[in-house]
Structure 1
Amino acid sequence: MKRRSLIRCAILTGIMTGTALLCQAQPRGGRGAENVAPPPVNPATESKAAVVALPLDPTGYIISNSPNIPAPVSTKHSISIKGQLISYTATTGYLQLVTEDGKPKANIFFVAYTKDGVADRTKRPMTYTFNGGPGSSSVWLHMGIIGPKRVLMSDKGDVLPPPYRYVDNEYSWLDKTDMVFLDPVTTGYSRAVTGESDKQFHGYEEDIQSMGEAIRLYATKYDRWQSPKFLAGESYGTTRAAGLSEYLQSKYKFYLNGVVLISSILNMQTARFDIGNDLPFPLFLPTYTATAWYHKKLDADLQRDLKSTLKEVEAFALGEYHTALMKGSELSEAEYTGIVNKLSRYTGLSKEYIRQTNLRIDIHKFDKELRRTDGLTVGRLDSRFTGRDYNDVGVSPEFDPSNDGTISGPYSAAMNHYVRAELKFKNDLPYEILGGRVQPWNYNNVQNRYLNVAESLRKAMAVNPYLKVWVLCGYYDLATPYFAAEYTFSTMGLRPEQKKNVNFTFYEAGHMLYVHKPSLVQVKKDADRLYDEVMKEINAAPLN
């Protein structure tokens, strides 16, 4: 059987039941999962491209350049990075997943940036980029840190007055790597096609398979198999990246050079405040301390130097505090009182409140309690930011002042304008920035246990000894705390030679660490080192 422009792709299988949103709390009144499949395109933009029939892969999905999706749009641009003028091409469009019998299933929206004038693409890295949620588009990494444009905010990260602006991103990674930003199904402009349930893509395994296929399809269509390959994800995007590192290598023999984990969460047990799971309490404690330090709620001796204070707290968290939680009701009164006193000292919370929590401080309760007497709450994604609730008697904040009250509006406005005005891609669908349409997210692959994709990354590193992993952490990130990320890597069983391929960097910022201008500047320097190190290793390899 022959069909128009058919290219091989992979099986997407499984219908799974779900649990809650992982790395982004849902605002009250937000939309839940919907079985919505709006028309994917504007008919006026239908492609009239020539067709070439290729063999059908009977084992999986295919991509079809059919007339019911718009042709990719390419535009020319330039940007100055570190004094170097970079001319580049932006390509915006869809990768369409189609069943083996030719039926379209979903359209994956992408924006790619490739440097012009590159004669040898085998020497030019390609970075495949996405955010998390689950339920988030790639807009945050796209227009916050990696792409050629960035949303303009204050140096601290405060939102400026609407209608908001974006500017050339002089800290873009485009001088070091080409890049493609991918939106999972039901985020951005990506949708299941009319008549198909979007829920078939809303789960850990389904997401890995569909996003893995989108990466393979892009590499095939745009001839990037011979390029050095990187993944870059943020938040749940790091969960996806770790899963993809093994999936791409095992399924397609698509071997990677690097994985970038921004605000990493690989082991969900480290962030689930469930009864009976005491692991998060010591792992969140250093970020509670950093937050109290920032808001000047600690004793004078602890306020002198943040990093010295955190070292002291980390030792207490892994030692005395962890042991106390393990002992539970077997703690003596003297031991219990000693832990109360130290927790109060390291969090800025009252001893009475610490006793009321039974030594177990939940993240949302901390956000409400730290500055309750000031009538303020602190942010979850970035605890430097504060908000004000209707009243001060609640248990947890009404909203996250570092998300709903800060960054969502500017990024939404920027992306919706930029795609049409500069990338010339016309689409009347709403660009889904970050919402609840993917809920519930399915985890049938880990029934009665926590999802832990650290093992997937370990396997990928074991098979591929050249795979570099870079972990970026913000001290004020209460969604994916830095100490939990360190714990995950220290307990995932890496061999000494593998540990040398892992690099951690830390910033005085929150979850979206790039909204803090000094951190954005430093991240660019750190990114340059990663790509330079990988390319040096590649160039040093023998040619025969």
Structure 2
Amino acid sequence: MKFIAAATLAFALAGCATAQSKEVRPATEKPAPDEPMFTPTEVESRGSVTVGGVSIPYRAVAGTLIVHHRGWDDTVAIERKRDKDAAAEVPASEASMFYTAYFKEGAPAEARPITFLFNGGPGSPTLWLHMGAYGPQRVETPDLAHGSAPYRTVPNEHSLLDVSDLVFIDAPGTGFSRVAGKDKDKAWFGVDQDIHAFTVFVRDFLSKYGRWKSPKYLYGESYGTMRAAGMTLALQRQDIDLNGVILLSDILNWDLVPDDSQVNPGVDLPYIVSLPTYAATAWYHKRAGMGRELAPFLKEVEAFATGDYALALLKGNDLPDADRQAMATRLHGYTGLSVDYLLKTNLRIEYGALQKELLADKGETTGTLDTRFTGATLDPLSKTASYDPQGSAIGAAYTAAFNDYVRGTLGYGAGKHYEGGLDVYGSWDYKHQPPGAGQPLIALPNVLPDLAVAMKQNPKLKLLVTGGYFDISTPYFAGRYELAHLPVPKQLQANIAYKYYPSGHMVYVNPTLLSEMHSDVADFIRRTDGID
């Protein structure tokens, strides 16, 4: 009986395989070079969300689009079929990019904005913006504390569906997105490769869902802001103009990250633009600026950073000892770090050092993405922070909430693993070819030239730049500095609006600030969508 049952099961499985594939090959046989490695998927569902007291019915689509590597065109398969020598080649790399799209029911495409949203990393999927900020469901996490199961998901009264259809996109290799084929890491994991993937995704999405005439927006967070700035020009090169770009916690010039001064001496600007965030952190933890209001305190620090502090750093080893001592004393007043420690740092506070040192007397480390968060220091003898307490506090809640939502409510992902974070930071190809350069530059990426050219070619393009005062990973003043040096004429500078919040990198973790940020973003879209 067992033999008969096993034979029956084997026959049934073989029947399923035959039904799904016209040709069954041995497991060791490679696919033909013209055969796609991925097949697009699509699962539809319906729901509604109430925003501003108005119920918004929507159609949700969770699925994948297939994106090909740079240089590919749709004649490749035809050419390979005619070339017998190509039969033995390994197929070129492909990416299957996962998305969740929400379309308001009954809204005509040409009169309905569409916004493409993505987180950054690099190596992060977009569950954060999806489940924390603008999707129809939102995960609740305790403010500035570590949450634990059971996690609670609630209808999101701050969803952006009141003003725009939404498309949340996972980068290649993250979430349910996958990459395969020859040199797949090289094909997808880099600045320009990533810009290409998302640009092609947006173009093909517009075709698939008939949204070419819709007002179009990009919304990038963190590294996603670098992606968005690069995409703006890349899309224009395919005759796709945007109405607006929203940047949350922007980093457009990687040179502004404060490295260890022992490793990268002579590059002082990152310490200057990071100082106001260090001061905001010290203010919050009552180590500096006690009794002061945050806004005027930071204005004072910004003036000091770009004035006396900058001049002191520019002098390098020529700074007299007395001036060095005086500068350390002034820095102590703004950062709460001891004068002795500041002298040892040579007046240059590197990335991760303030988080580790500020509350060292309590054995605590502050957050990186949000320095209001604190956690026990892992290694009291370490030079910099060993982890981010905010990530530890909320990561499990977001991951659990999205996995439950996408599988249960949206009906997608059975038998699939959702990759919550891809470890590509160290192997990422950071070379970028800005407009006007003949080849990718051997330097840290800077997409300000891309954004400047895009704004000059499309003077209707508007930017909304947002961030948090307590974000050390992408300091708010670094973002202001970047865009203050964007090479565009004065009349185009007026196309940029700024808004900062008393929060960290992920402003939306606080419901009150999420409400405020929703209003700011919704107003921005209404002002720029061109719809009467």
TM-score, scaled relative to structure 1: 0.83
Which residue of the partner structure matches residue 348 of structure 1?
Answer: 336
Please tell me whether the aligned partners of residues 40 and 65 of structure 2 are also in contact (alpha carbons under 8 angstroms).
Answer: no
Q: Are 1:505 and 2:505 counterparts?
A: no
The alignment status of 1:279 with 2:269, answered yes or no, reads: yes
Distance apart, 1:328 and its partner CA: 1.1
Match of 1:359 in 2: 347
Give how far 1:428 is off. Answer: 2.2
1:106 aligns with 2:95: yes
- Cα pair 2:273 2:475 within 8 Å, conserved: yes
Contact in 2 for aligned 1:202/1:439 (Cα 8 Å): no
Which SS does the other structure have where 2:389 is aligned? Answer: coil
Q: Contact 1:235–1:480 at 8 Å: present in 2 too?
A: yes
Residue 256 of structure 2 corresponds to residue 262 of structure 1: no
Q: Is 1:147 paired with 2:117?
A: no
Q: Are 1:92 and 2:62 matched, yes or no?
A: yes
Instruction: Name the residue aligned to 1:82.
Output: 52
TM-fit CA distance, 1:96: 1.3
The whole-number CA distance in structure 1 between the counterparts of 2:333 and 2:294 is 14
Structure 1 residue 406 corresponds to structure 2 residue 396? no
Secondary structure at the counterpart of residue 41 of structure 2: coil
Which structure 1 segments of 5+ residues have no match? Answer: 1-42, 49-62, 540-544
Q: Which moved more, 1:187-196 or 1:121-130?
A: 187-196
Task: Tell whether 2:383 aligns with 1:395.
Answer: yes
Q: Superposed, which structure 2 residues align to 1:441-456 within 5 Å? A: 441-445=428-432, 446-456=440-450
From the superposition, tell whether residues 458 and 67 of structure 1 become closer, same or farther in structure 2 (CA, over 3 Å): closer
Residue aligning to 2:115: 127
Change (3 A) 1:347 1:143: same
Shift in CA distance, 307/200, structure 1 to aligned 2, threshold 3 Å: same
Mapped to 1, the partners of 2:117 and 2:19 lie a distance apart of 26
**Distance across 1 between alignment mates of 2:462 and 2:16:** 45
Q: Name the residue aligned to 2:9.
A: none
State the match for 1:117 in structure 2. Answer: 106
With 198-207 and 466-475 compared, the bigger mean Cα shift is at 198-207
Query: More displaced, 436-445 or 473-482?
Result: 436-445
How big is each residue's C-alpha offset from its partner over 1:179-200, in whole Å with a ceiling of 9 and x where there is no partner? 1111111111111136662331
Maintained 8 Å contact 2:98/2:170: yes
SS at match of 2:463: strand
Q: Give the deviation of 1:256 after TM superposition.
A: 0.2
- Cα distance between partner residues in 2 of 1:279 and 1:45: 60
Q: Which whole-Å deviations, capped at 9, do the CAs of 1:337-373 have from their partners, x for residues lacking one?
A: 2211110100001111111111111121111110000
- Cα separation, partners in 2 of 1:438 and 1:373, compared to 1, 3 Å: closer
| SS of structure 2 residue aligned to 1:497 | helix
327, 347, 367: which one aligns with 1:339: 327
Match of 2:171 among 184, 204, 208: 184
- Superposition deviation, residue 270 in structure 1: 0.9
- Amino acid paired to 2:252: L
Q: Distance in 2 between matches of 1:312 and 1:132?
A: 31
Q: Relative to 1, partners in 2 of residues 1:196 and 1:319: Cα closer, same or farther, differing over 3 Å?
A: closer
Between Structure 1 and Structure 2, how many residues are aligned? 475
Give distance in 1, aligned partners of 2:19 and 2:134.
Answer: 30
**Partner letter of residue 351 of structure 1?**
V
Cα distance in 2, alignment partners of residues 194 and 327 from structure 1: 52
Q: Which has the higher contact order (CA 8 A, sep 6+)?
A: 1
Equivalent-residue separation in structure 2 for 1:495 and 1:212 (angstroms): 26
State the shift of 1:159 in Å.
3.8
Give the CA deviation at 1:175: 0.6
Identity rate of aligned residues, in percent?
Answer: 39
CA contact (8 A) 2:58 2:103 kept: yes
1:441 partner SS: coil
> Counterpart in 1 of 2:408?
421
Give, in angstroms, the shift of residue 390 of structure 1: 3.8
User: AA paired with 1:94?
Assistant: T
Residue of structure 2 aligned with 1:323, choices 287, 294, 311: 311
Computing the radius of gyration from Cα coordinates, the structure with the larger value is 2
Name the SS for the 1:238 alignment partner: helix
CA distance in 1, matches of 2:217, 2:67: 23
- 1:276 aligned partner, one-letter code: G
What code does the residue aligned with 1:256 have? L
| Cα pair distance change 1:91/1:350, threshold 3 Å | same
How far is the alpha carbon of 1:272 from its aligned partner? Answer: 4.0
Aligned-residue Cα RMSD (Å) equals 2.2
